[in-house]
Structure 1
């Protein structure tokens, strides 16, 4: 089992399970239920993209120093066919620099059929202080945007 973990209420809500993240590769599992489906009763595209985003980002984080996170800069996804049943997502780090990671990944269904493929770019960052207030960073008199 990987030393990495996914700490996200959104990912927990979806039920995405991290199986492995090491040496620039990751594997995740998602057992689809009614909450994951679109009006055609197949995996919603947003769920597919979330699964790919997590697969790619955990692959990139698996080679980063402890305490380093990533943010998604861009991700291109191609959908091949509808997904149903248990999904597996795989991520792979293609190249990294000091501040950036370039990854690819895919989602496959229970039968191993390719559901979607993605490529993405991620920026390495140190974790920001929890609870940091945006309004504290504004200049006096600057509108809040709230």
Structure 2
């Protein structure tokens, strides 16, 4: 059964991604592909795969702060390298793993598996831990946390 994402991410919700686990430096997302996820070859669009990898790795990076007030800092992607191995079809699983962290950075890897367990895509990424994000006019934008139930 899917979990509620700890932060409000409209783009992820629009894509229909589901969070299935998060903790101890790991996270798992799933999506059952629909027509809106497909490219002109009628397989998962690379942007959907990259988003799944990015979000899975970011949640793995944040998972170590789950017990901290407000779940600790948020993360922003600094860089990401993705390799596509085979077409994504049907239900896809994205697995994110925190490899190493410092006080300000997280280094992660992620994989997407197809229904048959075959590797569809793999990525590595670096994230920066942030409490707020500077935006236009140098104003700080706070992380949009979910209210506790």
The counterpart of 1:134, out of the listed 130, 133, 136, is 136
C-alpha offsets along residues 117-141 of structure 1, whole Å, 9 cap, x if unaligned?
000000000134xxx862366xxxx
Distance 2:38 2:110 in 1: 21
Contact 1:2–1:22 (Cα < 8 Å) also in 2? no
Residue 88 (structure 1) aligns with: 93
Distance 2:60 2:137 in 1: 34
Residue 20 (structure 1) aligns with: 21
Contact 2:4–2:19 (Cα < 8 Å) also in 1? no
The structure-2 alpha-carbon separation of the partners of 1:109 and 1:122, relative to structure 1 and needing over 3 Å to count, comes to same
Q: Give the aligned length.
A: 134
Distance 1:47 1:125 in 2: 25
RMSD: 1.8
Distance 2:82 2:52 in 1: 11
C-alpha offsets along residues 30-85 of structure 1, whole Å, 9 cap, x if unaligned?
11000000000000000000000000000000013424100000000000000000
Residue 119 (structure 1) aligns with: 124
Distance 2:47 2:100 in 1: 26
* TM-score relative to the length of structure 2: 0.84
* TM-score relative to the length of structure 1: 0.85
Distance 2:4 2:50 in 1: 24
Gaps of 5+ in 2: 140-149
Gaps of 5+ in 1: 138-146
Matched, 1:74 2:79: yes
Classify the secondary structure of the residue corresponding to 1:62: helix
